[in-house]
């Protein structure tokens, strides 16, 4: 019995001893995006600190996060999220707040507060790392005659016959419909809060309804454009950029009416490695790790990163096209995401 107690005490001590290296799970979107994060953020961090990071991918949304937090079975520690989701997850208490004042200054010495673009630190639950955008691209081999150049062209099936592929959700599509209908970018969200504005957007979408192919994940988009499933396809700019750069696809991106947004690193509420997670975010949003993101056409959120970025790439980032597009409003979508989601489903089924 005594021996048993000794063993028990020993093994208990072994498990409660402060672990020298921690193992933490980081979750992000896969693809080329995930590869760059792995190389520029996770690997250097592991090397520097000796901790082990597991890297998993997911397809966005808050469902998995919510079920982990609600059941108390936290498997993830750090997540890469779209701002629309962060806004919701943060206000529902699914994320830890991040101490913004602990962010290190840029490599050129600029304090973090001035180095980051203001929008990047707006949400208390995370630090934005990249500016990305949603736009459409066409395939020069399947588009036929002329070349679409504006949002109105996307909705013009007479001039450009053929299928268009959109992600199956109201976000961005409602904005695009109003933009194509001639609403100026700064009036779009005001219009969408009214019944008439929503009806106008749906009417515009109606005009191409029979020509739309719907998909669920960004990774399907370049595929649809490639195999001729659609002649114009909506996706994140990095997805197209990667296909053009790496696979030499004959795709052309159209910047008119693009809807840009940020992506955020945040920490799951109740994470067992909160301190390490904060360390990781401080590291990953440093000037140098962020400077790797433009290689897949996503713009870093801090100014000091641009010193490391190839001048050719800078012109291909969403930041070089800001005046052609509009900023996605996470506040609007927190307010109307659910009701428009229902109306959108109804419209789809009509």
Note the residues at the interface with another protein (CB under 8 A).
Answer: 61-63, 66, 88, 90-93, 97, 163, 168-169, 193, 213-214, 216, 227-229, 331, 334-343, 345-346, 348-349
Helices assigned H by DSSP within 99-163: 112-115, 151-154
Helix (H) or strand (E) holding 323: none
Structure token digits, residue 60: 């966005």
Structure token digits, residue 189: 């969200």
Taking the least distance from each CB to another protein, the nearer of 136 and 336 is 336
Taking the least distance from each CB to another protein, the nearer of 238 and 337 is 337
Question: Residue 327, class by beta-carbon neighbours within 10 Å (0-12 exposed, 13-18 middle, 19+ buried)?
Answer: middle
For the bound state, the minimum distance from the C-beta of residue 244 to another protein, rounded and expressed in Å, comes to 21
Taking the least distance from each CB to another protein, the nearer of 51 and 123 is 123
For the bound state, the minimum distance from the C-beta of residue 196 to another protein, rounded and expressed in Å, comes to 14
For the bound state, the minimum distance from the C-beta of residue 87 to another protein, rounded and expressed in Å, comes to 9
Taking the least distance from each CB to another protein, the nearer of 54 and 348 is 348
Taking the least distance from each CB to another protein, the nearer of 178 and 317 is 178
DSSP state of 163: -
Nearest Cα residue to 248 out of 139, 164, 340, 332:
139
Nearest Cα residue to 226 out of 204, 251, 207:
251
C-alpha distance across the termini of the chain, in Å: 73
For the bound state, the minimum distance from the C-beta of residue 37 to another protein, rounded and expressed in Å, comes to 24
Taking the least distance from each CB to another protein, the nearer of 235 and 329 is 329
Contacts with 305 (C-beta within 8 Å, 6 or more apart), sequence order: 106, 287, 288, 290, 291
Task: With both helix axes pointing from N to C terminus, report the angle between 330-349 and 195-206 in degrees, rounded to the nearest 10.
Answer: 50
Q: Report how far residue 154's alpha carbon sits from residue 237's, in angstroms, rounded to the nearest whole number.
A: 16
For the bound state, the minimum distance from the C-beta of residue 344 to another protein, rounded and expressed in Å, comes to 10
For the bound state, the minimum distance from the C-beta of residue 21 to another protein, rounded and expressed in Å, comes to 32
For the bound state, the minimum distance from the C-beta of residue 216 to another protein, rounded and expressed in Å, comes to 8
DSSP state of 106: P
Helix (H) or strand (E) holding 299: strand 299-300
Q: Report how far residue 201's alpha carbon sits from residue 192's, in angstroms, rounded to the nearest whole number.
A: 8
For the bound state, the minimum distance from the C-beta of residue 134 to another protein, rounded and expressed in Å, comes to 17
Taking the least distance from each CB to another protein, the nearer of 202 and 306 is 202
Name the phi and psi angles at 123, rounded to 5.
-90, 125
Taking the least distance from each CB to another protein, the nearer of 88 and 316 is 88
Contacts with 224 (C-beta within 8 Å, 6 or more apart), sequence order: 165, 213, 215, 230, 233
């Amino acid at each position: 019995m005594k021996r048993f107690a000794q063993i028990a005490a020993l093994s208990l001590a072994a498990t409660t001893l402060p672990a020298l290296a921690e193992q933490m799970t980081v979750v992000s979107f896969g693809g080329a995006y995930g590869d760059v994060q792995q190389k520029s953020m996770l690997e250097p961090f592991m090397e520097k600190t000796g901790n082990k990071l597991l890297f998993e991918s997911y397809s966005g949304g808050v469902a998995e996060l919510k079920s982990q937090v609600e059941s108390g079975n936290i498997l993830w520690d750090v997540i890469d999220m779209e701002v629309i989701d962060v806004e919701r997850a943060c206000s529902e208490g699914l994320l830890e707040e991040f101490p913004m004042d602990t962010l290190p200054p840029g490599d050129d010495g600029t304090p973090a507060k001035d180095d980051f673009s203001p929008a990047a630190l707006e949400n208390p639950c995370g630090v934005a790392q990249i500016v990305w955008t949603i736009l459409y691209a066409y395939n020069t081999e399947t588009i036929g005659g002329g070349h679409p150049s504006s949002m109105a062209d996307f909705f013009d099936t007479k001039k450009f016959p053929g299928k268009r592929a959109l992600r199956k959700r109201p976000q961005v599509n409602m904005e695009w419909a109003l933009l194509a209908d001639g609403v100026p970018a700064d009036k779009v969200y005001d219009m969408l809060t009214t019944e008439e504005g929503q009806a106008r957007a749906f009417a515009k979408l109606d005009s191409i309804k029979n020509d739309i192919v719907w998909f669920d994940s960004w990774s399907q988009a370049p595929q649809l454009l490639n195999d001729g499933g659609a002649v114009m396809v909506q996706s994140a700019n990095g997805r197209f950029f990667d296909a053009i750069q790496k696979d030499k696809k004959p795709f052309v991106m159209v910047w008119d009416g693009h809807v840009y947004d940020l992506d955020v690193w945040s920490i799951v509420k109740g994470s067992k490695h909160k301190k390490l997670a904060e360390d990781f975010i401080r590291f990953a949003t440093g000037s140098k790790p962020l400077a790797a993101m433009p290689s897949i056409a996503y713009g870093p959120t801090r100014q000091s990163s641009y010193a490391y970025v190839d001048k050719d790439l800078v012109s291909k980032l969403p930041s070089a096209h800001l005046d052609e597009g509009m900023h996605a409003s996470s506040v609007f979508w927190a307010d109307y995401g659910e009701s428009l989601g229902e109306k959108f489903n109804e419209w789809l089924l009509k």
